[in-house]
Amino acid sequence: MYIGIDLGTSELKALLLDERHRVLASIGEPLTVQQPQPLWREQDPADWWAACDRALARLQAWQPAAMARVRAIGLSGQMHGAVLIDAKDEVLRPAILWNDGRSGAECAELERRVPDLHRIAGNLAMPGFTAPKLLWVARHEPAVFARVDGVLLPKDWLRLQLSGERVGEMSDAAGTLWLDVAGRCWSHELLGACGLRESQMPRLVEGSQVSARLKPELAARWGLPADVVIAGGGGDNAASAIGMGVVEPGQGFVSLGTSGVIFVAGAGFRPNPAQAVHAFCHALPGRWHQMSVMLSAAASLRWVTRLLGRADEATLLAEVAQLTPAQRAGAPVFLPYLNGERTPHNNPHAQGVFCGLHAGHGAAELGYAVIEGVGFGLADGWQALNADGGAVAPALSLVGGGARSPLWAQLLTSLLRVPLLTHSGGEAGGALGAARLGWLADLDAQGVAEASALATVCPPPPVAARYVPDADEAARLAPRYERFGALYRALAPGFSA
């Protein structure tokens, strides 16, 4: 048995996986985000730990026999967050999250301090990344910065609670702007530009290797064996890729979670900062990936559902499904930049916009505009990935909460012009990948070769549905997509004001 723990933004998920690839139990514990000022997004790490404890206790109550046979735990989590700890491992301030936009000025400062940043880190300096957050803390909270003895990413702070050890891994570390992504090691130059030392960073392992062991008192608390190992794990998207069997070059997926992601695995390090494409390490040794990221995907649908007073997203989508093609063509156009945007704009000041509203529009038209606008944002990301011929994907898997909507899936496949596959169990996402990384770490400790381990542990889940591009729908969407791009270009100069 293997446990996967995925620390998301709105939920911590834990699941139990057996060696026949069956998910025996899956638990979700809700989390909330604090927004004390415009552009700020924070969480209290203590809430993560409380959610983790509740989830593992519930697994133990539901599956005590299975929990007693667990061999390893894998970790996945929201990337880029900054958890600052002192010499006693105490948290110094609330964690600054991946979708926090306060550090735009610090991004420009980091680019100025390290002209070679793009070559080393493979990415533009964006407010979502970890390094600019520390420059912001140094400038605005110098007393806190002076006490920093360690900086951990969210899932790695959970590892500290589970094991007592400060350990990170390559896929998540690649999103800090402190990693030499090609060399898979901390960069002294990038750390020094932020006033930090390597001694303040966690030691690094690969995602499929053993990173630490579970504290005996926690094993007893949750009914686990005394010798449970903890895998390196992965950032949420790299872990989701492991869960979907996206491990070979050219394989990829689209994630419709809180954020929207297109992920394509590769055999080498291929940075493309000019298009605001992310180039990160994969959660497996000697592998990398490219990724486009939009900050508000399913989050946009959740927002408009609340705004319209509908019970849930499925209720609103059922109304959207009743619209005729002519009604969809007459719906407003939506820019989905509720939290700024990354790929391809790298603009933390970008804002959400409905354009073209009139008195005849109702909830269904607004709901359609939102899912279409998210689709347009993902299409921008897909074009960025293909800008230098980098993406190779005859089909993409579709994962995340939005993958449950056939309407949205069909719209996306027509926009991207590539088939999309949904999978049984695809909603497990990063938690399933984390459990598989635990499984790989267990086999690695036994000396099992990676090639045979991957074949055993990382097959794609069974296909549940296949969506293929509809030429008529693509033709109807094309002029609206052009208008979407023109609106952003026209409105962008006024966003920061």
Instruction: Give CA separation, 88 vs 31, 49, 143, 164, in Å.
Output: 26, 17, 17, 11
Neighbouring residues of 228: CB distance < 8 A, sequence distance ≥ 6: 70, 71, 72, 73, 213, 214, 219
Token duo for residue 138: 């140094």
Q: Which residue, chain included where needed, has tokens 């719906």?
A: 331
User: Rounded to whole angstroms, what are the CA distances from 452 to 12, 72, 134, 434, 459?
Assistant: 31, 19, 41, 19, 11
Residue 80, marked binder: yes
Phi, psi angle pair for 369, to nearest 5° = -55, -35
Distance separating alpha carbons of residues 198 and 193, to the nearest angstrom? 12
Residue 266 — left, alpha, or beta (φ > 0 → left; ψ -120 to 50 → alpha)? Answer: beta
Q: End-to-end alpha-carbon separation of the chain, Å?
A: 54
Q: Which residue among 6, 156, 172, 236 is the active-site one?
A: 236
Backbone angles phi, psi at 77, to 5 degrees: -175, 165
Verify whether residue 180 is a known catalytic residue.
no
Q: Could you give the CA distance from residue 39 to residue 109 in angstroms, rounded to a whole number? A: 19
The answer on whether 67 is annotated among ligand-binding residues is no
Spatial separation of the C-alpha atoms in residues 355 and 483, rounded to whole Å: 10
3-state SS, 146-199, equals HCCCEEECHHHHHHHHHHCCCEEEHHHHCCCCCEECCCCEECHHHHHHCCCCHH
CA atoms within 13 A on the CB side of 406: 6
| Strands 72-77, 252-256: pairing kind | unpaired
Annotated binding site: 79-80
Annotated binding site for substrate: 79-80
Enzyme catalytic residues: 236
